[in-house]
Amino acid sequence: MLSSVAPPRKSLSSSRSAEMKDLFRHTITSTERLTIVQYILDAENDVKDYHAEINRLQTMIWTLENEKDALKKSMERFRFLLSPVYKLPPEILINIFDFCCGMNDLEAKESSMPTALTLSRVCGRWRDILLSTPRLWTSLSIHLKGWTGDRLRLSGLTRMFMKRSKELGLTITLDFSNADEPLEVYIPALESLIANSTRWTDVKLIIPALVIKQPMFENIRGRLPMLERLYITGCGPSDHTEDAHVDLFEDCPSLHSFAYKASSPSIIVNVPWDQIKTLKLCNYYSTFAFDRLALCRNVEQLKLHIVGGGREYKSHVSSDIRELYLTVHEQVDVSSIFQYSTLRQLSTLDIRGLFDEPDEEWIVWEEVPIRAFLYRSQCSITHLHLQWLPIEDGQAVSLLELTPTLSRLHIEEYRKNAIENKIITPYFLQRLLVDHGSSRHSFLPQLTDLTLYVHHSGLDPDFLLKVVTSRWLPDPSHSEEVGVQCLKAFSLAIMGKEASVAERFAGLLCFRDAGMRMTLSQLHIF
């Protein structure tokens, strides 16, 4: 609070004002002249006093205005405490931050900061939460390009993440794919990461063959007790053709997932193959890929991304793989694995084309290799995913007839440059229809979960409704009598430009109220 205003000083000049006015009516004597001089001196002093008082009052006004503005800012700050975000307990905020900080990208641009660091600068409460939650600092993806003039910032941020993550396991990505600076720029940051290699749990290395052979990486050998997942591929100029043989990861007692992508020059990695449960191979010819697969005697999940072709594979792979995921570009990518393997424990088969539109170079689906594989393996496929493939309705039916144990089926037609369905045709739907009065063995009797991505052209909503109705058997005794499991989940995505195309199939939503997990959506394809 400001002090009260001081009482005004009594003016010396004002006491003589009446006397001085009479002087204008007669001649000024010498005595009166002295009086006038004294009046002027007193008036000058009064003016100075008034000016000082005005300044004092002006400073008081400024002070009051400053206190008013400060109070308004304080009101806004405290009003913000009434916002919904302040109702969230720390546990909820940490869960949200977990999602945001799944990968903290570290790039050379100063305008781009890692997410955890950005969140910690929002307010004091968030900063306290971030600094007291080490797991939010455990992931770091470093893009090693453009750090020549900012190497101290790179090493400083790296050390910060190592410190704030405490002793928790680390998820690390080192991406040298566009790096063009001398290695010396990155050494301090790399040394900080390598010094914490005992905490690495998930590592992705996109690294030149010459770099991974540097002596400093020798320090990770035998110091990777927590490493569970490893992805590695070479990068950089291909004029250096010497492959790098790397045995740094042979002693990793926790490693169970390994992803390996071809590069030129190649990085040939040795890992404890018997430990690998999940194996992913990308862009390899059959011979190299299946030689590596043969080493993984305990692999359960295999992912092949454009793997096939090349020289004929002289051996045969027999494995207990349960899940097989294929991303394919041409027929050989499909056929190779089925031609050279027997997988008796296989239950999940996922085959996806690389592009969502037909490819002029792959217009024919060869069904012989996969049919021979199913006959040979005698496996019980329960989950099948077919997406963006040049397979036609008759071929799909023929394939599904060999998978009577199938419970979940996902079929997705090409999206672009395709106006009609090649798989989900009237013939396919007719086979899917269950005839409750027939004694003939039903098609896909174990099917309980069906997903279709289809074009509306040529698709009859009434007949599709009839198909779904024929498989809606919520009464167990009725289901057993018919010999077909009840369809418990159905997801339909209609592709089309018209805004109301999905309305034609709205009748299917009745099954949602009956208890089916029913999803109806529309994809606007242009």
Kindly give the pairing relationship between strand 341-343 and strand 317-319. Answer: parallel
Mean pLDDT over residues 102-125, rounded? 87
Residue 21 has pLDDT above 80, yes or no: no
Q: Whole-angstrom Cα distance, residue 469 to residue 463? A: 10
Strongest mean pLDDT among 36-40, 92-96, 277-281, 284-288 = 277-281
Residue 3 has pLDDT above 60, yes or no: no
C-alpha 15 chain-centroid distance = 86
257 against 110, higher pLDDT: 257
Q: Whole-angstrom Cα distance, residue 501 to residue 493? A: 11
Q: Tell me the torsion sign for CA atoms 173, 177, 183, 186.
A: negative
- Residue from 458, 355, 360, 478 nearest 412 by CA: 355
For 42, 62, 63, 465, the CA distances from 69, given in Å and listed in that order, are 41, 10, 10, 67
The per-type count for the chain, helices as H runs and strands as E runs, is 16, 19
Per-residue confidence (pLDDT) for residue 418, from 0 to 100: 83
Q: What letter does residue 182 receive in the DSSP assignment?
A: -
148 against 512, higher pLDDT: 512
Residue 523 has pLDDT above 70, yes or no: yes
Q: Whole-angstrom Cα distance, residue 339 to residue 177? A: 35
Report the 10 Å Cβ neighbour count for 431: 18
Report phi then psi at 288, rounded to 5. Answer: -65, -45
DSSP annotation string for 205-250: EE--HHHHTSGGGGGGTT--TT--EEEEE--S-TT----EEE-TTS
Query: Among 15-29, 109-123, 319-333, 498-512, which is the least confidently predicted range?
Result: 15-29
Residue 121 has pLDDT above 80, yes or no: yes
Per-residue confidence (pLDDT) for residue 458, from 0 to 100: 85
Name the CATH code of domain 87-276 (choices 3.40.50, 3.80.10, 1.25.10, 3.30.450): 3.80.10
pLDDT digits (tens, 9 = 90+) for 369-425: 999 999 999 999 999 999 999 999 999 999 999 999 999 999 999 998 888 899 999
- The answer to whether the beta carbons of residues 443 and 432 sit under 8 Å apart is yes
Residue 346 has pLDDT above 70, yes or no: yes
Q: Whole-angstrom Cα distance, residue 349 to residue 323? A: 6
Listed in sequence order, the DSSP H helices in 81-144 are: 90-100, 115-120, 124-131
The mean predicted confidence, pLDDT, of the chain is: 90
Domain borders along the chain are 14-80, 87-276, 287-293+305-382, 391-526
Q: Whole-angstrom Cα distance, residue 511 to residue 490? A: 9
pLDDT digits (tens, 9 = 90+) for 177-221: 888 788 888 999 999 999 999 999 999 999 988 889 899 999 999
